[in-house]
Amino acid sequence: MRIVAAFVLLWLMAAPAASQSDAAQDAAWAALARDGAVALVRHAAAPGGAGDPDGFRLDDCATQRNLSARGRDQARALGVLFRERRIATGRVVASQWCRCRETATLMDLGPVADAPTFNNAYVLRRQADALTAGARQTIAGWRGPGALVVVTHGQNIRLLTGVDPGEGGVVVVRPDGEGFAVVGRIAPPT
């Protein structure tokens, strides 16, 4: 009987956490539905660990980690979620890495512009402070119309927000004066 009671107690304790997660995700979608929010999208699933192989080149996708079939499906599914929720996209920008550009392209939310300040802060460690400062400036300056969709890397999002959304996940922020505030997180599509 104690085991059953303990199980029920654990289940009840977990239920509010799940609804809080749902509430945070709902808040993130609601923020994106209003002008001026920013979606920081981590590129979809790209196997091979962090970074890129030695000798990678930005102008040659064959030398980089790229999206898997699952990653391409994730990117398309994320775009469908944005369209189903009728998120008006004002601009789409991406890191120059192929996995970010492909994620943004497959989301199909509009033309994709290169945004070097969102390039891979893990690989470009020596430039991480400058990349992060440029990203903060870009985000703080966004006012719409619509949402700014930024497809970048996990390390970049962690440096900006302290949150790791997982491959294909999203952290939504709202510019507020000189900086921005984290609104919520959208889980990666399954």
Every domain of the chain and the residues it spans? 20-46+59-186
pLDDT classification of 49: cutoffs 50, 70, 90: confident
What does the alpha-carbon distance between residue 109 and residue 90 come to, in Å, rounded to a whole number? 9
The model's pLDDT over 141-150, given as tens digits with 9 standing for 90+, comes to: 999 999 999 9
Question: Is residue 168 within 8 Å of residue 116, measured between CB atoms?
Answer: no
Q: Is the pTM of this model over 0.85?
A: yes
Percentage, residues of the chain above pLDDT 70: 89
Q: Which CATH class, in words, describes the domain spanning 20-46+59-186?
A: alpha beta
In the numeric block, which tokens belong to residue 98? 């192929």
Largest CA distance in the chain: 64
| Mean local confidence (pLDDT), 79-99 | 97
What does the alpha-carbon distance between residue 38 and residue 35 come to, in Å, rounded to a whole number? 9
Inter-CA distances, 12 with 19, 23, 25, 130, 140, Å: 11, 17, 21, 46, 40
Inter-CA distances, 141 with 41, 118, 149, 160, 175, Å: 18, 15, 14, 15, 7
3-state secondary structure (DSSP) of residue 22:
helix
The answer, yes or no, to whether residue 12 has pLDDT greater than 80, is no
